[in-house]
A and B are shown apart, each in its own frame.
Chain A
Amino acid sequence: MLDILKYFKPKELKKSLLISLWFMILTFPIMVIKVNTIENTVLWRWGSLVGMGIGSFIMATLWRYLLERKNMQNPLSNKKTLQMKVIDWANANPKVKPVLLIAISLFIVSFPFITSMYQTSIMTTALMYIVLGLGLNIVVGLGGLLHLGYAAFYAVGAYTYALLNYHFGLSFWICLPIGAGLATIMGILLAIPVLRLRGDYLAIVTLGFGEVIRIVLENWNALSFGPSGIANIPRPGFFGMHMKLQTATIYIYFIMIAMVVFTIFVVRRLENSRMGRAWIAMREDEIASESMGIDITKSKITTFAIGAFFAGMVGVIFAAKTTFINPASFTLWESLMILCVVVIGGTGSIVGVIVGAFILILLPEYLRAFSEYRMLLFGALLVIMMVFRPGGIISNIRKKYKFEPTKESSNASQKGAE
């Protein structure tokens, strides 16, 4: 208890008081004065001013307390974070892992049967964002290349399916690899001109690229049917079986589950491979990695290509799920949303991206009641995240390798000690 008290210094409380005063003045016109234009009277709501003052004072104090606590922690101390504690606990109890895995998979499999179609549908959307997030995570999290035009690849996948189906009647399963492949090619095409760019310049060019794709789709009526989009895209088939809407929704949910599993599998393997390490090295220090024999050109192109591959894949599913697409689905906002999934969840971390996607996609759905405040909450969440957990909700932890001290090594370490 006394431990907490040491954070509340009079100086801090004074600052909080000033902040609450400022808020009271700032919100005075909208919170206190209410003009009734019909009866020409002004209603002075002093009560809400008091409420505002107390509320902002409490919030400011809490904010200062959390900041202070964060700063007081010695960064070099080996105090374990909650995340590390959980990992240690899981390692100490090896039986927990399979039990947890079985429980999760049972939940996943039974989910569409125990909940409504609406629930299944939004869960499918969340799963799509998991794959998109993991794909972008390769570019942003591992490669360290800020990419703001990711939705363009998503659009390429979606339009590939829609157009190939419209003109040639190709089915979902044929279009899935074609869409992913075309997006990959687009990724390579984008990567070549931006090879020499980094940081803000790269962000601006990728942003431009994303917008160019969208504007082309909006205006090239002959190809894309412009803003009116393409309707009546068939849902994925299952050996020519005709499905009711409900069955189709569940079917897409399971396709998406398979895709998430596939993506996690691929990303996990890449992350700790030779190429994955090269990407991370490129993120950490381009000049040093080049001097260590890493081909930066190849690394950049592969990150863009693989990132785009997953976006193209999800794009095809998106078209099949909504059965209607138009360019409005692939705006800059979409790219930013996916970037937020990665950054809020935890840059470079698979579990982080999954958590991020669930929070950003499911929370607004379940908070429909607060839909007007959605953007406000969203902004606040971003600010709070960046202040208190700059690494994301779940930060990436590098793989650890175990070594038995060989005879040779123990001799050598003795030598080093001398």
Chain B
Amino acid sequence: MTPILETKNLTMQFGGLTAVDNINFKVNPKEIVALIGPNGAGKTTFFNCVTGVYKPTSGDVLISPTGKDQQRINGLKPNNVTEKGLARTFQNIRLFQNMTVLENVMIGRHSKLKSGILGAVLRTKATREEEKKVIQDSYEILVEVGLDKFVNELAKNLPYGAQRRLEIARAMATEPALLLLDEPAAGMNPHETKELDEMIIHIRDSKQISILLIEHDMSLVMSISEKIFVVDYGKLIAQGSPDEIKNNPEVIKAYLGDDSDA
């Protein structure tokens, strides 16, 4: 089976600092994979390398959204990566604050649409139909994540948990093959985390896509992920099923510190 995302010896250096060090990583189709590690371990940098925000210093990022040939996407611009089927959310919410909830989702559909300036000015039949369809599609996505009651509300006026959900809805609108969630449960209470948990599994099951998440909430990570990768100081120190990770001495050391330190 071709993995949907694979990195080979991925390295990212900022000056003398190696934030991501030789990471070999794999996400298979329809898998929920978690990337964990202490603060500053290089998780978000890894995300940024994959999604095109940073250009990796060396190594390969290979994707195969359709399950066929792998393509190398190093150095591609983020919008092109998104077009290829990788969508992401952000650690600190980055919604379009002064746009309505519906418009936020409509932006997610952007790369799937064609109409240009001339079409918009002349309001051609194709543009009108496309516009009608994008409004309907976006609304349905909002219904799916339970945000339809906020349709015309400005994104900045939403409660925190709903903003997090809207970010996921916006990413889903790009019809990704792989959804990358950067700390989706940050700042949520246990009840909201549980709802999120159900939502992520629902998305995977209904859309048949893979999900890669960075998360600090261990109960969420352990309950939903099928495979866990652990990074520390930019290096991959362990990988395996939740049970294997729980009992891995390396991981315990990374999180709780070495005996000799104590």
Question: CB within 8 Å of B: which residues of A?
Answer: 266, 269-270, 273-278, 280-281, 284-285, 287-296, 302, 306, 398-401, 403, 405, 408-409, 412-413, 415-416
Check B117–A295 contact: CB distance below 8 A.
no
B8-16, B96-104, B242-250: which lies at the interface: B96-104
Minimum Cβ distance to chain B for residue A302 (Å): 6
- Across-interface contacts of B79 in A (CB, < 8 A): 290-296
B121 and A270 contact, CB distance less than 8 A: yes
Stretch at the interface among B31-39, B60-68, B141-149: B141-149
From A391, which residue of chain B is reached at the shortest CB distance? B98
State the CA gap A198–B144 with chains docked (Å).
Answer: 37
Pick from B108, B140, B143: contact of A293, CB under 8 Å = B108
Contact yes or no, B148 A285, CB < 8 A:
no
Alpha-carbon distance between A269 and B117 when the two chains are bound, in angstroms: 9
Residue B225 at the chain A interface, CB threshold 8 Å: no
A273 touches B148 (CB 8 A): no
With the chains together, A409 CA to B142 CA distance in Å? Answer: 9
**Please, which residues of chain B bring their CB within 8 A of the CB of A277?**
99, 103, 106-107, 110
Say yes or no: B146 contacts A412, CB within 8 Å: yes
CA distance A403 to B148 in the complex (A): 9
Question: Interface with A: B82-90, B184-192, B253-261, which one?
Answer: B82-90
Q: Are A409 and B154 in contact (CB under 8 A)?
A: no
Knowing A302-B117, A412-B146 touch, does A294 contact B110 (C-beta < 8 A)?
A: yes
B59 at the binding interface (Cβ < 8 Å): no
Q: CB distance A285 to B96 under 8 Å?
A: yes
Residues of chain A within 8 A (CB-CB) of B140 are 408-409
**B contact residues around A275 at 8 Å (CB):** 115-117, 120
Is the C-beta of B51 less than 8 angstroms from some C-beta in chain A? yes
Complex: how many Å from CA A306 to CA B116?
13
Report B11 CB to chain A, min CB distance, Å.
22
Check B99–A413 contact: CB distance below 8 A.
no
16 A-B pairs (CB sep. < 8 Å): A273-B127, A274-B113, A274-B116, A275-B115, A277-B110, A280-B103, A284-B96, A285-B95, A292-B170, A293-B79, A293-B83, A295-B79, A296-B79, A398-B100, A412-B143, A412-B148
- Residues from 116 to 144 in B contacting A, C-beta threshold 8 Å: 116-117, 119-121, 123, 127, 130-131, 134-135, 139-140, 143-144
Q: Taking the complex as formed, is B222 at the interface, i.e. its CB lies under 8 A from any CB of chain A?
A: no
A278: B residues at CB distance < 8 A: 107, 110
